[in-house]
Every structure is written in C-alpha cells, then in structure tokens.
Amino acid sequence: MNGSSIKEVYKEIFKSHDNPSLKQHIEKIIELDVYLPYSSTFFCITNTQDLSFEYISKNMTACLGLDKQELQIKGMRYLWSRMHPDDLDKWLKALNELMNFTINEISVNDRSKMSYTWNYRLKNSEDEYVNVVQNTTPLEFDSKDKPVIGLAHYTVLSGSLEMQISASAKLLNSNNEYETVYFNNFSQKLLTDGISNRERDVIRLLVLNYSSKDIAEKLNISSNTVDTHRRNILKKLNISSTGELIGMLKMNKNII
C-alpha cells in the first residue's frame, strides 16, 4: 500500500464534519512535558482531520532517535512511511473497526471516557524496526461526536519481541477503572482469543497485584464472580497459577 492510499483510507476512517477548537487543558498537558523524566514512552497530541501532530513531547527523540521538528512538519504521513509494510493493512483495519465500534456501540455521553490501544512496528533513526504500543484518549469531538483530537502515548519496545497486531477499547466506569469493551487480534489467531473482555480486565488487575476483593470493587462485580473468572482463565490458558500467568504475559502482551 503506497502513501497516497494510506492517506485516503485513513481520512475515510476519521472523516469529520467540522473543525474543533483545542481546549485550554491541552496547553496544560504541554506545559507538563518539561517536568517529565526521559523514558521509553513519549506522547503526542494528534489531529486526525489534517493528519498533523499538535504537539510532540521531548521523549520522542530519546525513544526513536527521530528529529522532532521533522516529524512536526511532515506529520502523520512521515510516521506512516516508517511503519513496517506488513503491518499497514492490519493497522488500518484495526483503526476502522475501532471507529465503527465507537460510533455504533458507544453512547455519545460515554465517548469522552474511552481509551484505545493498538500496536505496530516502526523504523527508528537507525533503520531498525521497534514495536510501538499506542494508547489514545479522545480530547475533542466533531459535530457528529466523532473523536478527532487525541492524546496519544507511545511505548517503544524491542523489535525482537514478536507482537501480533491487536486493538482494544476500554471504557472508564464509575469506579474510575477502565473496562475492556472491545478486543480484536488482526494477525494470526491466538489461543488467547478465547479470553473474554471481562477476563482480560481481571488478568490486567491481577498482574497489578490486586486481590479478588479489590478487583470486584473496581469492576462492580462480586468476589465470587472474580474467583470464577480466575479459574476459567487458568483453565483456558492451560496454566496452574497466577504466577505462571504473569510469566506468560511477559512473552505475549496481546492477551490484554
């Protein structure tokens, strides 16, 4: 798929009906960048209408070695040109399905509470492919309540990790806990495709060392239900303990 084709498909996915204005809180997010330590994560404020980056944090160069000014000038098209060609179609399909899911399944009032995650391989300044996990939270919506401005966090991982292309959507509940409402693997099917969205949430919280009681409170379910999910997870993955589950997660981050 060439650059112009990518642009057309992407613009169709994020086709918008008007031009939103950036809120004052975005400026505050930018102000905080100076205080953030260098790490394997950087953030950008993305604009899906004109395919640009409203802002790129200082950690981007530390993570990828790319020139911040060049990325700012060339925008998303430049980022796409560095994406692994085998990941492009899967990535576009993931974005399209996430957008369709949001428009068709998520109420207008809940769209500001959503968080989206997907992954792909990207070529760094040394022309080596690394894994990038992108998590985007909507900040602005158009007149049709379609997300067009987002706060995107990018975590850069070693290219030696074999990560299949997947995408997920999470909704912030009344207990300020993100619950998985959508998950799809766009590469070869995994054994873990049998894991339900609620089971993925239980796995994620178990890895964070929460007890069954804590998980129950966060997900608005009973402790007995959590324990049932735990038993089903171990059975589906053919493992015997939570410790073994955490070890599996280190090898396969696509489970959650």
Give per-residue pLDDT as tens, 119-174.
Answer: 999 999 999 999 999 999 998 888 877 788 899 999 999 999 888 889 999 999 88
CATH code linked to domain 3-188: 3.30.450.20
DSSP element (H, E) containing 6: helix 3-13
pTM of the predicted protein model: 0.75
Position 195 pLDDT exceeds 70: yes
Residue 1: predicted pLDDT: 65
Place of tokens 């070890």: 247
pLDDT at 20 over 60: no
Residue 191 pLDDT: 53
Neighbouring-strand partners of residue 114: 171
Question: What pLDDT was estimated at residue 12?
Answer: 78
In whole angstroms, give the CA distance from residue 194 to residue 2: 35
What is the pLDDT, as a whole number, of residue 9?
Answer: 79
Identify the three-state secondary structure at position 167: strand
* Mean pLDDT confidence for 21-38: 67
Q: DSSP H helical segments within 65-181, as ranges? A: 68-74, 76-81, 88-105
Instruction: Provide mean pLDDT across the span 54-69.
Output: 94
| pLDDT band, residue 114 (cuts 50/70/90) | very high
CATH class assigned to 189-256: mainly alpha
Cα–Cα distance between 136 and 151 in angstroms, integer? Answer: 5
* The pLDDT of residue 248 is above 80: no
Given this model, what pLDDT does residue 104 score? 92
Share the mean pLDDT of the chain.
85
179 DSSP β-pair partners: 171
**49 band by pLDDT with thresholds 50, 70 and 90:** confident
Q: What pLDDT is recorded for position 254?
A: 59
Whether the per-residue pLDDT at 26 is higher than 80: the answer is no
- Comparing CA positions, the residue from 47, 52, 48 lying closest to residue 12 is 48
Distance CA 54, CA 152 (A): 11
Residue with token string 């925008």: 75
Give the whole-angstrom CA distance, residue 34 versus residue 39. 13
Upper half-sphere CA count for residue 131 (Cβ side, 13 Å): 16
Domain ranges in the chain with CATH number 1.10.10.10: 189-256
Q: What is the per-residue pLDDT for 216?
A: 93
pLDDT at 70 over 90: yes
